Copies of this chain bind each other. A is one copy, B any other.
Amino acid sequence: MSTSHIPNTKSPSLPEHVIKALSIDNLIFGLDEDELKILLVRQTDPMHQGKWALPGGWIRYDENLRDAAYRLLEELTGIRDVYLEQLKTFGRVDRFPNERVVTVAYYALVSADNFSLVAGQTAEEVNWQSVNKLPELVYDHAEIIAHGLTVLRHQVCHQPIGFNLLPEKFTLLQLQALYEAILNIKLDKPNFRRKIMKMNLLSPCNEKQQGVPHRAANLYTFDAAAYEQLSQSGFSFEI
C-alpha cells in the first residue's frame, strides 16, 4: 500500500469518501532477465522504517472494486491495459495495526515492453524486486505475495496468461524460459515447441529476431481470438 495507509490520520492526501474498512492491494508481476519480479513501493514515513509494501490504497464509495484496482495501479505505476484479476481477500483480525482493515488483493502480469518503463518513472519509491529474495514487508504483505505466487504458478499452467509477461512479439525460447522461470523447472526444447505449436494459439509474425549473435529465431504473437474460439469448443490450455 502507499503511505496513505497510515491509520487514524486525517492526512491531506487521503481522498474523501472512501470505504473505511476496506483496501486494495495490487500484485504486479514482471519478468526481467528470466527472473520473476514483483513491483513494490517503499514506505517513506518513519513509522514503517523504510519497509516495502504492495502498491495499493483505498476504495471510493462510488467505485467498483476492480475499477479501484485499475485506478490505483495507474496512479502509482502508470501501468494500464493489463490482465488484472482478483486474487483473494485478506482479513485477519490483527493484520493491520489499531483498526480492522480487510484488503482485496488483485494481480496483474506486466509485459516486458513496459517493464523498464515503469521502473524509471518514480525511481526512488517504486521498484521491481525478485520474488526469490524479497525485502522486509509491511503488515501481511509477505503472506499475500506467497499466496499470489502459488496462484500464479497454478494459473500459468492452466490458462494462457504467461504471454502477458512477454513483449508483444516473442520467440519460442523466450516463452519456454518464462515457464522455466515461473515454475522453477527445466523443459525439453523440442517437446515444448511441439506442444505449444499444436495448440494453434500463436501467429507467426514473419519476422526474425534482430541483433543476436546466433541464428535469428522466428517471432510470434499470441492469438487471443483463436484462444477464445478454441475454449468455447472445449479446448483447455495445459502446460
Contact = CB atoms under 8 A, between A and B. Distances in A.
B86 A64 contact: no
Q: How large is the interface on A (under 10, 10 to 19, 20 to 34, 35 or more residues)?
A: 20 to 34
A116 to B, nearest CB: 33
A61 interface: yes
A93 B20 contact: no
A92 interface: yes
Contact of A64 (B20, B22, B59, B93): B93
B21 A62 contact: no
Contacts of A104: 89, 91, 102
Contacts of A88: 86
A223 B63 CA distance: 46
A71 interface: no
A61 B102 CA distance: 11
A8 to B, nearest CB: 15
Nearest to A88: B86
A90 to B, nearest CB: 8
Contacts of A65: 89, 91-92, 102
A19 interface: yes
A100 B61 CA distance: 7
Contact of A62 (B64, B93, B102, B158): B93
Given A86-B88, A88-B86, A89-B86, A19 B64 contact: no
A86 B158 CA distance: 20
Contacts of A158: 158
Contact of A19 (B63, B89, B100): B100
A92 B62 CA distance: 9
A134 to B, nearest CB: 24
A158 B59 CA distance: 34
A158 B238 CA distance: 12
Interface in A67-123: 86, 88-89, 91-93, 100, 102, 104
Nearest to A67: B93
Interface of A: 19-22, 59, 61-65, 86, 88-89, 91-93, 100, 102, 104, 158
